């Protein structure tokens, strides 16, 4: 938990964000500014600032299983995934997340 992290606040339920899918490792919610008809974010419960700070390799496996689950829940058979790492690459929120984008 990082106190000034918007995704940690979402995970703590501070904004009442609806989760598309959740389990002990992660939550999935819709992107507030969607760049595709379906645009979800798969976010670990633990605060990891970016891929560069990742130490737990098992977490990545859990996140990718979360991608699959979220796609199933959203009825997506075909989708793109994206991880932005670092400001220059377009990372706006410093809490690791995987974008899942597709059309129904
Ligand atoms: P990135 O640029 O990879 O860090 O992606 C951050 C994403 O988080 C952007 O696509 C934003 O639209 C999204 N975002 C920021 N704040 C919120 C929020 N409160 N709820 C849902 N999505 C958000
Ligand atoms: Zn965080």
If we measure between CA atoms, which residue out of 83, 22, 3 comes closest to residue 50?
Answer: 83
The answer to whether 97 is a known catalytic residue is yes
Ligand 1 pocket, Cβ-based, cut-off 6 angstroms? 6, 29, 31-33, 41, 84, 90-93
For residue 96, with 0-12 CB atoms within 10 Å meaning exposed, 13-18 middle and 19 or more buried, which class applies? buried
pLDDT in tens, 75-89: 999 999 999 999 999
Average pLDDT of the residues of the chain = 97
Q: What is the pLDDT of residue 64?
A: 98
**Strands 26-30 and 80-82: what pairing?**
unpaired
Task: Give the whole-number percent of the chain exceeding pLDDT 70.
Answer: 100
Mean pLDDT of 11-17: 96
3-state secondary structure of 41: strand
How remote is the CA of residue 31 from the centroid of ligand 1, in Å?
Answer: 6
**pTM value?**
0.97
Residue 1 confidence (pLDDT) above 90: no
């Amino acid at each position: 938990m990082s106190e000034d992290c918007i995704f940690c606040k979402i995970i703590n339920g501070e904004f009442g964000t609806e989760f598309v899918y959740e389990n002990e490792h992660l939550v999935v919610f819709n992107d507030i500014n969607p760049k595709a008809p379906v645009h979800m974010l798969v976010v670990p419960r633990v605060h990891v600032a970016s891929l560069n700070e990742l130490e737990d390799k098992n977490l990545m496996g859990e996140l990718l299983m979360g991608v699959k689950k979220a796609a199933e829940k959203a009825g997506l058979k075909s989708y793109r995934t994206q991880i932005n790492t670092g400001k220059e690459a377009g990372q706006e929120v410093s809490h690791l997340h995987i974008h899942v984008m597709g059309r129904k």
